[in-house]
Every structure is written in C-alpha cells, then in structure tokens.
Amino acid sequence: MKQGSSIVIDPVTRIEGHSKITLHLNEDGRVEEARFHVTQFRGFEKLCEGRPFYEMPSLMARICGICPVSHLIASAKACDSLLAVKIPPTADKLRRIFGLAQVTQSHALSLFHLSSPDLLLGMDADPATSNIFGVAQKNPELALDGIRLRQFGQRIIERLGGKRIHPAWIVPGGVSEPLTEANRDAILSALPDALAIAERTLEWFKSTMERFREEISVFGNFPTLFMGIVKKDNGLTFYDGKIRIVDASGHVVADDLDPTKYSDYIGEKVEPWSYLKSSYYKPNGFPDGIYRVGPLARLNVADRCGTPRADQELAEFHELQRTAVLSSFHYHHARLIEILYCIERLEQLLNDPEILSKHVRAVARPNELEGVGAAEAPRGTLFHHYKIDEQGLIRWVNLIIATGQNNLAMNRSVLQVAKHYVHGNRLTPGMLNRVEAVIRCYDPCLSCSTHALGQMQLQIQLLSPTGEVLDEVSRS
C-alpha cells in the first residue's frame, strides 16, 4: 500500500465531497492543530444571478443529488416570501411529506451506506471491505434494511415529484400537482415495513454503543451551542418554525429567533485554507460562537417530537447525558430517532383529510424584493436568501448550508480525535478511519456546503512545526 510518503487506499472513502486534513505537530511531536480543508468550489450564488426567481427551486436543487428536496424546500420558501403569499394548507403539508421522505432517505444513506461499516465492522476494519458490501456480507439483513429504507424515502419523492432526484414539483407558491389517492394509499401501505426497519435498526444501534465507549468520549465530545428550528410548542420540525439555540448545559440561550433574520445572529468567517466558510453565533464571537446543527442539535433543542415512538426514544436519548448530549458520535443515534419520527409523522400527514385537496398552489406576482427561506435539511438548518429586481430577476443570493455551520465543530472534532489517536510522526490506517468516522458523524455534504462540484477524496497531512510534511495519507 505504501508509495513513498503516501499511502493510497482504494476503494474511495465514504464522505460526500473533496477534502483534505492537515494535522500540525508541536515540537514534542504532539498534535497541536487540525484543519479540515474543503478544496472544492462551485459558486452557485453567482451563477444564478440574472435568472428569473421562479427557476430558483429547481436551479438550487442541482446543488445536491442527495438532498435536492431540502434545497427545493428552502428555496421555494424564499420564493414564497418574494411572492408574499401564504401557500395553501395542503401544499404546506405536501411539502412537509416531501421533506420527511427526504430526511428518511438521506439519513438512511448516511447511517447504512456510509457509517454502518464503521459501526458493524469496527474502526480498524480493512478499508477494502469497510463498505456497504462488507456490511452485506457480515449482516445481510442490516444492509438490505438500509437499501429498503432509502428506497422507501426515494419512492415517496418519486410518487409526489415524478422522479427521485431533482424533481421539479415544489414551486414558488406551493407544489405543481396534488397528491392522488392511489399514491397516498401506496405510501401508506409502505409505512409499516419502514417503521419496522427503523425500530430494529435503532435497537441494533443501541446494542452496539457499548463497543464504542472510547470513540464516544473523543468523537467531537466537547461543549458547543446547538441550533435548530422548533415548532411553536418547541417540538421537532423540519419545515417551519423559530430558531432555538441551547448551550452545552442544555439551557436555552436564544429562543423564538426569526429564521429570516439569520444575519443578525449568524456570522460567517472565511478561512484562507478552505472553501468552506465557518458559521458562528454572533453574540459569542468567533470562534467562541461555535455551534452544531443537524440531528444531534435538533434533538438537543427540541422538547418533544410529537409522535409516540419517537418521543419515547427522545426521552431515552436525553438521558444519555444530563446536559445537552455532547458527543458527535450520537449524531447516529439522533439520526435513527429522526427516521422514526419521520415515518410516524408521515402517517399523520397522509391521513389528514385535507391531503388530497386539489388546491395546492398560490399564484401571485413578486410583491417583495427580498426573501429568506429556512428549513431543516437532514444535515441541519438551511438558509436561502434572495434579492430580486423589479422584473423578478435574481440579483443577489446567499446560502448558508448545514455543513458550513458544523465546520468549526468538525475541525475541533478532527483535532480531538487526532490528539487521542495520533502519536509520533506516523499515520496509521486505524487513525485515518477514525478521523473519517468522526467527520461522517456530521454526514457533511461538501458539495452542498461549498455549493461545489467534486468527487470523493480525503487526504491527511501530518506537518512538523516548520511546516514540513512528515506523513501523508490519501484516498482517491
């Protein structure tokens, strides 16, 4: 495997996007600083300037093939506010269904396809087998469950939007087509199987946690703030609500924040070594305003889920720690509880008597020149902010993506793992696996967060105090 100073590991790693990690050593040979560099750039905010805003949801959906629905939703909400309309209640519910299906399939991808090899085969497993095929060999039922659960989510998206990836169904003002009775019934009939998968995976996950005590203690286990959107009753939601921020002790530090005024409390810092900006909570400054978003944060900020099974699991989850649940390893656990919630919530929404209404779109001209849309994407809070001219053409765009908001925490997590596992000036595959695994906890989407096009690659450099490359490991 060794070729000079680099170790090439094939097949490719299980993260979404291009990245590089540098570990800086002090004079004693201990890791002093770690940087998670995102080395790709796309510029979606610039290329949509001049386009009619009605195209924005579909244009923005192209940022990502995994969570196009999240971008569709945030973008359409920004466009709704440009139209200054209240969308029909059925459209609102249909968008929620779409979003829940998206969260289910994306979480399934993260947990089963990307992270289950670490969880099932262990952090020291051979990279050649540490993938979904390795999982299929060792535990075929788990691998099949993952594929089925993702399929469940994707099929809902297809039934509503016409296709699984980049559907153009969500439009400014609502959705383009109502839900048919046949499609509703088909989705409802698939719910019990999906729920059973979610239940048994959660049980399996909880039974494996004991094996990862060491990882739990160093996988991003440090105090930060947590941010997420909550409903009026402080319950879990993915579609709409107010921003809530809690601190590491679990106390609410900010509540009822208007998502459309995100720039009042979220700052973004550009580092010269990464295309990914780092978000921080403005009142605490940079970098003390470090906060996390995504499943772990959502469950830390939410008081309840609002569905029976998920609420039971949430109560158990909150018992993991008396404060907020701090270790990023628990992102996996939170992800599974959210899947459970999504499936239960889907059932509630699909049984709503209004859900088959044909009135699913509000028609208006642009009435505002500026609009913000915020929603919870699988990986965390997503903001789309547009300004248009009198003709309805886009003049300015700002996107704040979940992975950017987790950037500071991911950097600190890599540092924590490196400090714990890297000794001396050599890198070992087990260490690389753990660095990757901690990044995977956040399920970062680098393509989304830099709005950039890229292929999976991870490179780790070990640097001496003088900047000399002592060791380098890359996977490409």
Partner 1 sequence: MRQAAPVKTLKIDGRDLSGRQEETILDVARQNGIFIPRLCEMDGLSDVGACRLCLVEIKGQNKLLPACVTVVEEGMEVTTDSERLQGYRRMILELLFTERNHVCSVCVSNGHCEMQMLAQRLGITHVHFPYRYPKEEVDASHDRFVIDHNRCILCTRCVRVCDEIEGAHTWDIMGRGIDAKVITDLNEPWGSSETCTSCGKCIHVCPTGALFEKGRSVAEMLKRRQFLPYLTMMREENE
- Residue 182 or 363: the one with the smaller Cβ distance to partner 1 is 363
Report the C-alpha gap between 265 and 260 in whole angstroms: 11
330, 164, 301: which is closest to 235 by C-alpha? 301
Of 89, 267, 283, 392, the one binding partner 1 (CB under 8 A) is 392
Contact between 283 and partner 1 by CB under 8 A: the answer reads no
Count interface residues toward partner 1 (CB under 8 A): 19
29 is a site residue for partner 1 (CB under 8 A)? no
Interacting stretch for partner 1, rule CB under 8 A, among 28-36, 165-173, 222-230, 315-323? 165-173
Out of 24, 42, 62, 242, the only residue in the binding site for partner 1 (CB under 8 A) is 62
How is residue 310 written in tokens?
A: 């998920």
Minimal distance in Å, beta carbon 173 to partner 1? 8
- Four-residue CA torsion sign, 359, 360, 366, 367: positive
Q: Which residues contact 362 (CB under 8 A, 6 or more apart)?
A: 80, 83, 85, 86, 87, 88, 91, 173, 174
- d(CA 421, CA 432) in angstroms, rounded, equals 9
Shortest CB 183 distance to partner 1, Å: 19
Name the burial class of residue 62, with classes exposed (0-12), middle (13-18) and buried (19+) by CB atoms within 10 angstroms of its CB. Answer: middle
Among 28, 210, 353, 363, binds partner 1 (CB under 8 A): 363
Both tokens of 231, joined, read: 């409903």
- Cβ proximity to partner 1, 330 vs 361, nearer residue: 361
Smaller CB separation from partner 1, 155 or 395 = 395
Choosing from 11, 43, 50, 287, the residue that interacts with partner 1 (CB under 8 A) is: 50
Indicate the residue among 51 and 231 with the shorter CB distance to partner 1.
51
Is residue 362 near partner 1 by the rule CB under 8 A? Answer: no
Rounded distance between C-alpha atoms, residue 161 and residue 262, angstroms: 30
Give the shortest CB-414-to-partner 1 separation in angstroms. Answer: 35
- Binds partner 1 by CB under 8 A, chosen from 54, 204, 205, 396: 54
Applying CB under 8 A, the span of 56-64, 289-297, 299-307, 308-316 interacting with partner 1 comes to 56-64
Q: First-to-last CA distance in the chain? A: 13
Q: Are 415 and 34 spatial neighbours (Cβ–Cβ below 8 Å)? A: yes
Nearer to partner 1, 55 or 347 (CB): 55
User: Closer to partner 1 at the Cβ: 333 or 451?
Assistant: 451
Task: Tell me: does residue 55 bind partner 1 (CB under 8 A).
Answer: yes
Q: Is 42 in the site for partner 1 (CB under 8 A)?
A: no
59 binds partner 1 (CB under 8 A): yes
Alpha-carbon distance of 88 to 109, in angstroms, equals 32
User: Is residue 453 part of the contact set for partner 1 (CB under 8 A)?
Assistant: no
Q: One symbol per residue from 173 to 192: x for binding partner 1 (CB under 8 A), - otherwise; what is it? A: ---x----------------
Spatial distance between the Cα atoms of 266 and 311, rounded to a whole number of angstroms: 30
- Told to check if 387 binds partner 1 by CB under 8 A, we report no
Exposed (0-12), middle (13-18) or buried (19+): which is 251, by Cβ within 10 Å?
exposed
Question: Rounded to whole angstroms, how far apart are CA atoms 174 and 423?
Answer: 55
Q: Is 158 in the site for partner 1 (CB under 8 A)?
A: no
Q: Of the candidates 282, 277, 271, 299, which has an alpha carbon nearest to the alpha carbon of residue 380? A: 299
Tokens for 200, please give them: 């048994």
Q: Residue numbers of the site for partner 1 (CB under 8 A)?
A: 50-52, 54-55, 57-59, 62, 166, 168, 171-172, 176, 363, 365, 391-393
